[in-house]
A = this chain, B = another copy of it.
Amino acid sequence: MSAIDTTPVAPLTVIGEDCSALARGAAILGTGGGGDPYIGRLLAEAAVRQHGPVPVVQIEDLPDDAVVLAVAMIGAPTVMVEKLPSATQFAEAVRSLAAYRGVTPTHLACIEVGGVNSTTPIVAAAELGLPLVDGDGMGRAFPEVQMVLPTLSGISATPMSLSDEKGNTAVFDTIDNRWAERLARTATVEMGCSAITSQYAMSGAEMKESYVRGSLSLCVRLGEALVDARAANEDPVAAVADVLGGQVVFAGKVTDVERKTVTGFARGTAHIAGMADDTGREAVLRFQNEHLFVEVDGRARATTPDLVITLDAETGEPITTEGLRFGARVRIVTAPADARWHSPAALELAGPRYFGYDLDAVRFDGTTSPGVRA
């Protein structure tokens, strides 16, 4: 059940009015964070209905001199579900950055594929009549601006724009991507804990070097695999693990969730009492927007940068950290991140120690990350 599924994937060529499979897959890759995919789906579908389908371009097919801007929602997912963005905010963020850089974008892109940020760029692309790149900067979701593969290639997050639903915009131009995170985060908090950003302007050539390929196609495939498994009376959780080349590592019932919205993030912990084969064991999930790691009986079972995914035990539907409820029956899937996340430099950027845990990175299969320094 844990071998990588090598079925050829039909790449996505267009995003139409039904974004359900894409949003469901995005929620899985969101590893608990990245915002409510239902809201992202509604916004994307409304934009496509109004402006027409969005063409999708494979990274290989991008001209080297393409001008690509990434678009995302930034802030605390706990707030995003209560404070909806305005319809014009997405395009406004793109226009603001394009004007600042003095460029005319040829394509838009997702910077993170997980959660709401797989679908938010669709809104901007539909409104601006631009094609969307089938890829992203992480192959998952991470909570901070600098935590993307382009940072490892020396690509600047800035100039980056922020726009809020009231009509305020900001542009930051920083000395490094950590400063982009610091300044954008405080502005986002002041804007009400969620905003739309355009960032990581890149050429086609830079995208080919630093981006994860086929991310939107993977979302659709994941979403379809989940629904197909249910329709065929097969195990949807196992189907998700199969598509991702991952493992089902724990089954249990949520006994406690502690959650705070601090410095613009949703941080917290969830305790899960084992059931079925895991009876008598306990798992603990720790998250900052996304799940950072899962411990089983006090030992790290899998950590960032690999994926820790919580699914409904029966339906296989992904559960975001803000959706974790006492008594919910869940299964936890771990899956490999893009291999580039396992270099020493990448672990410094997004490994457990960055998040304040004195812990070496553990891979989805329980082995030590190759990037851990001896």
Shortest CB-to-CB span from A190 to chain B, Å, is 5
Q: A96-B173, A100-B100, A173-B96 are in contact. Are A168 and B186 (CB under 8 A)?
A: no
Cβ 8 A contact of A175, one of B96, B166, B190: B166
Please give, as numbers and ranges, the residues of chain B lying within 8 Å of A189 by CB-CB distance. Answer: 186
Please give, as numbers and ranges, the residues of chain B lying within 8 Å of A13 by CB-CB distance. Answer: none
Interface pair B168/A172, CB less than 8 Å apart: yes
Interface pair B179/A169, CB less than 8 Å apart: no
The chain B residue with its CB closest to the CB of A191 is B183
Give A179-217 as 1s and 0s: 1 = Cβ < 8 Å from B's Cβ atoms. Answer: 100110011011100000000000000000000000000
Cβ 8 A contact of A186, one of B96, B171, B186: B186
Shortest CB-to-CB span from A85 to chain B, Å, is 16
Q: What CA separation (Å) do A186 and B183 show in the bound complex?
A: 9
A343: CB under 8 A from chain B?
no
How many A residues have CB within 8 A of the partner chain? 20
A280: CB under 8 A from chain B?
no
Q: What CA separation (Å) do A179 and B182 show in the bound complex?
A: 19
Give A145-166 as 1s and 0s: 1 = Cβ < 8 Å from B's Cβ atoms. Answer: 0000000000000000000001
Q: What CA separation (Å) do A167 and B167 show in the bound complex?
A: 27
Interface pair B179/A166, CB less than 8 Å apart: yes
A66: CB under 8 A from chain B?
no
The chain B residue with its CB closest to the CB of A168 is B174
A170: CB under 8 A from chain B?
yes
The chain B residue with its CB closest to the CB of A190 is B186
Q: Which of A79-135 contact B (CB under 8 A)?
A: 96, 100
Shortest CB-to-CB span from A167 to chain B, Å, is 4
Interface pair B175/A167, CB less than 8 Å apart: yes
Interface pair B167/A183, CB less than 8 Å apart: no
Shortest CB-to-CB span from A97 to chain B, Å, is 11
The chain B residue with its CB closest to the CB of A185 is B190
Q: What CA separation (Å) do A60 and B302 show in the bound complex?
A: 71
Q: A-side interface residues toward B, CB under 8 Å?
A: 96, 100, 166-175, 179, 182-183, 186-187, 189-191
User: Which 7 pairs between the two chains have the least Cβ-Cβ distance?
Assistant: A171-B171, A167-B175, A186-B190, A168-B174, A186-B186, A169-B173, A170-B172
Given A168-B175, A169-B173: 20 more A-B contacts, CB < 8 Å: A96-B173, A166-B175, A167-B174, A168-B172, A168-B174, A168-B179, A168-B183, A169-B172, A169-B174, A170-B170, A170-B172, A170-B173, A170-B183, A170-B187, A183-B187, A183-B191, A186-B186, A186-B187, A186-B189, A187-B187
Q: List 10 A-B contacts (CB under 8 A).
A: A166-B175, A167-B175, A168-B172, A168-B175, A168-B179, A169-B172, A169-B174, A182-B190, A186-B189, A186-B190
